[in-house]
Amino acid sequence: MSVVGAYFRLARAGWILVREGVVAALPGDQLDGMPRFGWRVAKLFSRRRSARRDRPERLAQAVNRLGPSYVKLGQFLATRPDVVGHDLARDLASLQDRMDTFPSALSRAAVEGSLGLPVEELYISFGEPVAAASIAQVHDAQVATATGNERVAVKVIRPGVRRRFNNDLESFFLAAHLQERLMPATRRLKPVKVAETLAQVTKIEMDLRLEAAAISEMHENTARDPGFRVPTVDWQRTGRDVVTLEWIDGTKMSNVEALREAGHDLEALARTLIQSFLRHTLRDGFFHADMHPGNLFVEGDGTIVAVDFGIMGRIGHKERHFLAEILYGFITRDFRRVAEVHFEAGYVPAHHDVAAFAQALRAIGEPIHGQSAETISMARLLTLLFEVTELFDMQTRPELLMLQKTMVVVEGVARTLDPHFNMWKAAEPVVSEWIAGNLGPRAMLSDARQGVSALLALAKQAPELAARGERLSRELDVMAERGLRFDPETAEAIGRAEARHTRSGRIALWVIALALAAIAWQLS
C-alpha cells in the first residue's frame, strides 16, 4: 500500500502543477509527439487566473499548495541546473521558504520532549513565534546567565514534518525511477541519485543538532575573520528538535534603504560579503549554501552575521585547487592551464583533446577581457564554464553546482548593495593569498608530507591487505571452477520480491486509472 500511496501523491502533485499553470508555462512548443500532446492538454486544464501570472508566481502558488516537502524540493533543484535547466533553476531559486506559524503549545511540547525538562526550567521567558519556514519556526526567548538575562532565538522543528517528508520522498523516488525507466535519455542526469541526495540533505536538516554542529564549526572557522561572524550555540538547550542560538540584533541585508539610513558603507559590505564567502570556500572548504539577503544581518558596527545553517556546502582540497586555478587562469588568460587542470582533476575524460578544450575555454574567456571589471560576473563565468564542459562529457559535480548556485546568490546580493561592484578586484586578495599558500613551495612541502603519511599508513596495513588479497584469490578460483551460485533461500527471496513488485505496480495502475476517472467525472 506504500507504493499505491506514492502513486496517489504523485498524481495529486501533477494535478496541482497542471491546475496552477506550471506545466503550461514550460516551453512545450519545442516538444514533439506525446510530450507535446500532454503539454497542450495541460494548458486546457490550467486555471484561467494562472495565465495572468508569470512562471515564478505559478511555481510559488503550486508549491505552497503542495506543502513544505516541495518547497525544499524546489530549493534543492535550484542548485541543480544540470537537471532542471538554468531558466527553471533561476525560477526555483526565487521560492521563499515562508510558512504559517504553528501554535506555541506545540513548540513547548517539542522542546520538553527533546530536552527532557519543562520550558519554565530552561527559559526565563518563551515568546510567540517570530518567523516560520517549512521545517521549523523561531521563538524569541530569554535565558539566565552569569552576567544576567540574555535574549536568545529558539528554533523548533515543525510537528509531523518528518512523517510528511518521508511520505513525499517516496513519491520523489517513484518519479525518479519512472523517469529512468521511461526516459532513457535522462539517465545521464541520474535522477535516482538526485533523489537520494535530497533525502540525505533533508534528513540532516531535520536534526537540529546537526545544524548546531555546522554553526559551531563555522563559528570556529570564522573566529578571526574581519567583518563577518556567526551566532553562538547554547548546547545545553539544544537537541534533535530544538536549537537555541544567540539572538542577533541587526538590520536584514535585504533592507538596503535601512542599511543606508543607518550609515553603513554599502560598498564595504559588498566587498566583505564576497571576500568572506571566498575565504570560507577556499580556506575552509565549508560554506553557507543559502546566503540570500534574508539570512544575512548587519550589526551596528557593520559586522555581517549569517543565520539559518540548514543547507551547507563542502568541497575537498582538490575542488578548491581546481576552483582557484581556473579563476586565476581566466584572470591571466592562461586557457591552456585551465584546460589542463580539468584533465588533471579527472573532470574531463582523457580521450578528449586538451588543445580543443582550451579553445572552447578561450571562447568564454576572451569576451571577458573586452569588458569593464564592473560588468564581469564570476557566477556567469562559472555558468558558461559548466555549459562548455558538458560538451566534453564532464560528469555532474553536485558540490561544484552548489558552489556555483551560492556564488550567483552572493554576487547578486553584493551588486544589490553596490551596482558598480568590481567582483574581480574584491576577490583578488583572497584568491591570491590562497594560491600563494597552496600552489607554491609551501603547498609542495605540504603535499610531500601528506604523501609520506599516506605511505606509512599503507605500510602499516600491508599484512592485512596481503591476507585479504589471498582470500579473494581463493574465492575467485572457486568461482571460476563452479560458477556463481545462489543458495535456495536467496533465489526464493528474489522470486518473492519480484512477484510483490509486479503485484504492487498492477494495483497502483488500477488506482491511478480510477482516480483519473473520478477527476474527469467531477470536471464534467
Residue 288 pairs in a beta bridge with 312
- Tens digits of per-residue pLDDT, 87-143? 677 667 666 666 788 999 999 999 999 999 999 999 999 999 998 888 899 999 999
Q: What are phi and psi of 489, to 5 degrees?
A: -65, -40
| pLDDT number for residue 1 | 47
| pLDDT number for residue 50 | 64
- Tens digits of per-residue pLDDT, 192-233? 887 887 787 788 888 999 999 999 999 999 999 999 999 999
* Residue 239 predicted with pLDDT over 50: yes
The x, y and z cell numbers of residue 515, run together, are: 482516480
pLDDT over 90 percentage in the chain: 27
- Tens digits of per-residue pLDDT, 161-178? 888 888 888 888 888 888
- Residue-by-residue DSSP string for 231-270: PPEEGGG--SSEEEEE---SEETT-HHHHHHTT--HHHHH
| pLDDT number for residue 329 | 79
CB-based contacts of 288, cutoff 8 Å, min separation 6: 218, 277, 280, 295, 306, 309, 311, 312, 313, 406
Active site residue 290: yes
Distance CA 514, CA 524 (A): 15
| pLDDT number for residue 501 | 55
CB 422 within 8 A of CB 373: yes
**Rounded (10°) CA dihedral 375, 381, 383, 388:** 130
- Tens digits of per-residue pLDDT, 313-370? 888 887 888 777 777 777 778 888 888 888 887 778 888 889 998 898 888 777 766 6
Out of 91, 97, 234, 290, pick the active-site residue: 290
Burial-class residue 349 by CB neighbours within 10 Å (0-12, 13-18, 19+).
exposed
Q: Which residue has the higher pLDDT, 493 or 134?
A: 134
CB 152 within 8 A of CB 245: yes
DSSP-H helix ranges across 393-422: 398-417
The x, y and z cell numbers of residue 398, run together, are: 553536485
Residue 138 pairs in a beta bridge with 131, 155
- Tens digits of per-residue pLDDT, 42-91? 777 787 766 667 777 777 778 778 877 777 777 777 766 656 666 677 66
Locate cell 578544450: which residue?
Answer: 357
| pLDDT number for residue 504 | 53
Burial-class residue 111 by CB neighbours within 10 Å (0-12, 13-18, 19+).
buried
CB 273 within 8 A of CB 226: no
- Read off the pLDDT of each residue in 434-442 and give the average, rounded to a whole number: 70
- Read off the pLDDT of each residue in 476-480 and give the average, rounded to a whole number: 69
Four-residue CA torsion sign, 460, 463, 467, 469: positive
| pLDDT number for residue 157 | 93
